[in-house]
Amino acid sequence: MLHLDMDAFFASVEQLTRPTLRGRPVLVGGLGGRGVVAGASYEARAYGARSAMPMHQARRMVGAGAVVLPPRGGLYSMLSKTVFDALRTRMPVLEMISMDEAFGEPQELAGADAEAVRVFAEELRALIRDRTGLVASIGAGSGKQIAKIASGLAKPDGVRVVTPAEQRGLFEALPVRKLWGIGPVADEKLRRLGIETIGGLAATSSTEIVSVLGATLGPSLHRLAQGIDDRPVAERADAKQVSAETTFAADLMTLDQLRAAVERTGAAAHARLLGDGRAARTVVLKLKKSDMSIVTRSATLPYATADLQTLVATAQRQVIDPLELGPVRLVGVSLGDSPPFGRARCSPTWTRVM
């Protein structure tokens, strides 16, 4: 199993297409007071900046030398397509996780030794570099989990092959947070039990894991920690939902302000719906309050439609007056259950900052 991850993709694209940025700390993301980092170059990461960090914090870490740029979604999508079209000439079946990472399971590597896998991975990296000028890291292992961990260990600009013989020793030492599916909350719960490594999780009884992580998540994570991962690579179906979000520099305090925001954000989601050649039945309104709590409300129409007025009106019916709900800092509108009615294509959703 291979996991390919483009290195610092958004920032690398900016440095590739704007040569004067090479070697400089680049931050891609929202430029407003509440903007979030979508991508950081390795030069910026050296200062502690990272994706999903508030932009003001990242800029403070990097200092006056930071180059802050808004995302260019169309360019990223184009280069992503070039990368994965090239990869499909060697691996026809790819499971794309996002526009910059995917799993592959090439048939020609069945039964191959570690050196043959390494050579194949290097050929893929050379193919990407030749077609786009971009750099990728690749991890290889017996399943998706270990391949993803291996690609993280390969960064930046490398290949890491983890053999079955190495896997147990690697898991014994790795922090449990490295396990796909373990977030801050689960990590804290496990630490209270004294479980800090993947090996420690594997050695804990399944009964105890279920009591801490629940009957749904617990058993699957326990199996992954034990190196049991038989999930196949499968092409993902076309997205069945499009959405748009807007984060505001100042909280929305009145009903009129909120309705105007829903109107604009709904129109942005509708534009993506039409661009994907889809209709929608389900409309979801997402409101993030100033205390960071999130309220979502949804409504399902009796029929699918691509009519802007109908869809935005449905979103407006889900609105809660900020005087009742509290100040609102983010508005999102999602249009779902949307089977293609024409040529479908997938495009990323960007969060705008206002």
- Which residues 6+ apart lie within 8 Å of 78 measured at CB? none
**Lookup: tokens for 85:** 């079209």
- DSSP assignments along 122-180, one per residue: HHHHHHHHHHHS--EEEEE-SSHHHHHHHHHHH-SS-EEE--HHHHHHHHHHSBGGGST
The amino acid sitting at 191 is R
Do 263 and 312 meet the contact criterion of CB atoms below 8 Å apart?
yes
Q: Which listed residue (14, 43, 95, 101) is catalytic?
A: 101
333 forms beta bridges with 244, 285
Helix pair 164-173, 144-154: axis angle to 10 deg = 70
Q: What whole-number distance in Å separates Cα of residue 52 and Cα of residue 85? A: 28
Answer yes or no: 101 catalytic: yes
Contact 176, 195 (CB under 8 A): yes
Torsion sign, CA atoms 25, 30, 33, 37: negative
Q: Do 279 and 310 touch, CB atoms closer than 8 A?
A: no
Evaluate whether 279 touches 305 at the Cβ level (below 8 Å).
Answer: yes
- The rounded distance, in Å, linking the Cα atoms of 309 and 332 is 17
Active site residues per annotation = 101
